[in-house]
Structure 1
């Protein structure tokens, strides 16, 4: 029997910034790791934040002023700027803030309540997957998955065919260079969106996964309910389905099972971050 695969270390928050409140963290379309840290106490409805970026073992910081997001989601733009969105929409407050490379807020807009995933692509467009408290109750996020420009222009939205089941919660989202993949509750199909065209739909053999990786015809689904939280289903893509090849567990680098974690998916890569949120680990199916 083959050994269970393991994650490998990828990026770490420098020790000088550890101990601060990690508000959110991600890995962007270019492989750079980012941490959004609280840099001040909340003053009224906003606070200052420090954005720490780690790339190739080097780090740099960007100070963001007057961030109102209570439940922030952050990602980077290709010009060195950033977007910060509040997962829960607030009346009278711009939900998405766009910052330039020096940390100045340039503009804002709304994308809808209940953001589960916010991932920018290499062109700087925002792919947003929503969870069930927004889908069906907020017109902006009713489709479950949308793409927005960095200026707030709606570029694409998911149109649900009857054979795909209801899209009530975006469990997993993968934004790669040329393709976006989504895995929604309730029927857990795998959706493929190329060039912002109509989604292609494939059935999958697993429920409750939190990550999806794709490389050519190879695919992997990571996670599940209960004791299947670290399940790794390796499979192959056909025209209509994900055909299972092998099921195993994805272990931590030290061979232990993972605990509560955040995942980000980019093409063939799965990035995993466990609490307290200072390290990113990697699994790559390519």
Structure 2
């Protein structure tokens, strides 16, 4: 049984600086926006950070009428852009940006939405242009450099990982991935250029997904790292972030062979000041793992590529 004293000690330990690999500051929400509620935040395929802000936090239960929200985008050079989105319907949304400047907003749960109403696509002026559904239980929703949408589902939807056009046509699914085992829950998903990486429950293989390669759309590598919530890959190396229990802040490294990931080293990934992040959001893009700790106003980055 965990006591209040145990919880306090764990909290103190988590906030205490520790030795490890420190995140590098990447982007910060401008202070003038801190009076709004952060519904969600992400880093897109080009490295721009986005915050979806509302006047108030959503309430649990009851109906959620369409509402307006603000996207604040901080580009890698520090320039700030604001886009008003009209008529959002997602209570617990996912957000990403399209290459044409528009946005995709998706409800993580599809049960309260009519068919075709779960994912909203907005143009660069914040106007909804279309909507469609990708299925219940979204764990990850990421847009790649070509504008296609990747959805990774958690265990209440056996669809696994699927790729969609921005108009709602399915382009690829993990039922086309022989040898990957049962993909029950998409723990880690990395979407950037022509290759997508994933590390799903239950066997946690590292999947190298190239849908446009008809002879081998998925290469499956066995992997001994369990429970990672993000994976980065660069130059024949992989880094896995997160895990179960005491390994939730783990940063594990491995070398890629043709059939496996061979472990090489393990450490911790910390905030820039050396503290452990506690509650966090994580986004993986190519060689980079972005981490955002509560209160979710700043992103840090770890780059496996140096």
Same fold (TM over 0.5): yes
CA RMSD of aligned residues (A): 1.6
- Partners of 1:39 and 1:47 within 8 A in 2: no
Instruction: Say which of 149, 158, 179 aligns to 2:195.
Output: 179
CA deviation after TM superposition for structure 1 residue 213, in Å: 0.3
- Partners of 2:37 and 2:57 within 8 A in 1: no
C-alpha deviations, 1:95-134, integer Å up to 9, x for none?
Answer: 0100000000001001100000000001110011000112
Moved more, 21-30 or 158-167: 158-167
C-alpha separation in 2, matches of 1:4 and 1:262: 19
TM-score, normalised via structure 2 length? 0.87
C-alpha separation in 2, matches of 1:164 and 1:150: 26
With over 3 angstroms needed to count, the CA separation of the structure-2 counterparts of 1:11 and 1:41, relative to structure 1, is closer
- Partners of 1:268 and 1:284 within 8 A in 2: yes
- Partners of 1:40 and 1:48 within 8 A in 2: no
Number of residues of Structure 1 aligned to a counterpart in Structure 2? 277
* 1:92 correspondence with 2:108: no
Divergent runs of 4+, >6 A: 40-43
Stretches of structure 2 that go unaligned for 5 or more consecutive residues are 1-18
Q: Please give the secondary structure, in 2, of the residue aligned with 1:277.
A: coil
* 1:251 correspondence with 2:270: yes
Stretches of structure 1 that go unaligned for 5 or more consecutive residues are 136-141
Q: Which residue of 1 aligns with 2:78?
A: 57
Instruction: Say which of 80, 99, 105 aligns to 2:101.
Output: 80
C-alpha separation in 1, matches of 2:292 and 2:250: 16
Q: Which residue of 2 aligns with 1:283?
A: 302
- Partners of 2:37 and 2:56 within 8 A in 1: no
CA deviation after TM superposition for structure 1 residue 70, in Å: 1.2
C-alpha deviations, 1:241-261, integer Å up to 9, x for none?
Answer: 111111111121111222111
With over 3 angstroms needed to count, the CA separation of the structure-2 counterparts of 1:20 and 1:241, relative to structure 1, is same
With over 3 angstroms needed to count, the CA separation of the structure-2 counterparts of 1:230 and 1:50, relative to structure 1, is same
Q: Please give the secondary structure, in 2, of the residue aligned with 1:227.
A: helix
Q: Which residue of 2 aligns with 1:109?
A: 132
Kindly report which structure 2 residues correspond to 1:115-264, keeping only aligned pairs within 5 A, or say none: 115-135=138-158, 142=159, 144-159=160-175, 163-197=179-213, 198-264=217-283
- Partners of 2:41 and 2:50 within 8 A in 1: yes
TM-score, normalised via structure 1 length? 0.93
- Partners of 2:211 and 2:218 within 8 A in 1: no
